[in-house]
Amino acid sequence: MPFIKKAFYIEKPIKTFLFLIREFNFTQGEAQRVISKGRILIDGKSIYDKSATIEGHIEIVYFEPKSRGLKPIFITDKFLVFDKPSGVLVHPNSMATEYSILDEIRIHSGANANATHRIDMETSGLLLASRDKDAERFLKGSFERKTIKKGYLAWVDGRVDKSFSVEEPIKIRDDYSASKHKVEISKNGKYAKTDFIPLYYDEKLDTTLIECYPLTGRTHQIRIHLFHVKHRILGDPIYGTTFKDANSYLEGTLSKEDRLIATKATRLLLHANSISFNYGCRYKIFSKVNFRKMRSEIYRGREI
């Protein structure tokens, strides 16, 4: 477990954030974030007061990374790049999360290393991580300024013969009682544009491998844009399935067999394949995964 609980005995009263700074070599900001997340416990209960004084017996929950052997595919003194497998979170979403890419980032580059963007759990491919706080600020700022460009690959339903763009605004849904889609196309949404380029059509599987270039960075942008033009990504358990199947997936009760039939693949067949940006010089980094071979994950009823 990456989150562990450790007991301490504090003989003399001390400000909570000062204790964390001295014990864990945190910055003041890092110490205050630990407090605000309720990871300081007295008598089993979290304290949240950043100015509180503590003494006696306390417990602290903190992140202790554990590696599963995933290594970066590219590394400099400022950043590193991983090929994230499908099914793995970038960050732990709770203290019960057993493993995430953050484990590997911290194992390779220490406590100040961090992911600089997010990839959906089921999306595979390139994840850019910073190795220190200065690099984190620069790279996250580059994403905000849209100077970092990402390219994706996807296996989609049906035949795509020519390049096209989808320029439709995207809105986070307010109500999930009728649909489990996290986002929707809406005139009240935020501007979004994605370019698509077909690479290969498999007639037997009736599926097309396409390149996807999001020019904006909205939640589920590629997924909803492809669903909107009726070329949903194979394996997508939310966009293109029934309400019942999507709900079962979100509740963790959809069996592998039912998912395969409902989505036509074992996993979401979306892959972050390239990333390009400036950091001292121009970098363009490609995934080492042969995503074309992911056809093997498509429903066996549609034989290759």
Residues designated as active site: 120
Structure tokens at 250: 């979100």
Structure tokens at 133: 């706080």
Given CA atoms 184, 185, 186, 190 in this order, what sign does their dihedral have? positive
3-state secondary structure the chain: CCEEEEEEEEEEEEEHHHHHHHHHCCCHHHHHHHHHCCCEEECCEEECCCCCEEEEEEEEEEECCCCCCCCCCEECCCEEEEEECCCCCCCCCCCCCCCCHHHHHHHHHCCCCEECCCCCCCCEEEEEEECCHHHHHHHHHHHHCCCCEEEEEEEEECCCCCCEEEECCEEECCCCCCCCCCEEECCCCECCEEEEEEEEEECCCCEEEEEEEECCCCCCHHHHHHHHCCCCECCCCCCCCCHHHHHHHHCCCCCHHHHHHHHCECCCCEEEEEEEEEECEEEEEECCCCHHHHHHHECCCCCC
Q: Which residues contact 122 (CB under 8 A, 6 or more apart)?
A: 86, 87, 235, 237, 267, 268, 270
Residue type, 139: L
Quickly tell me which residue has 């209960």 as its tokens: 45
Structure tokens at 165: 């763009």
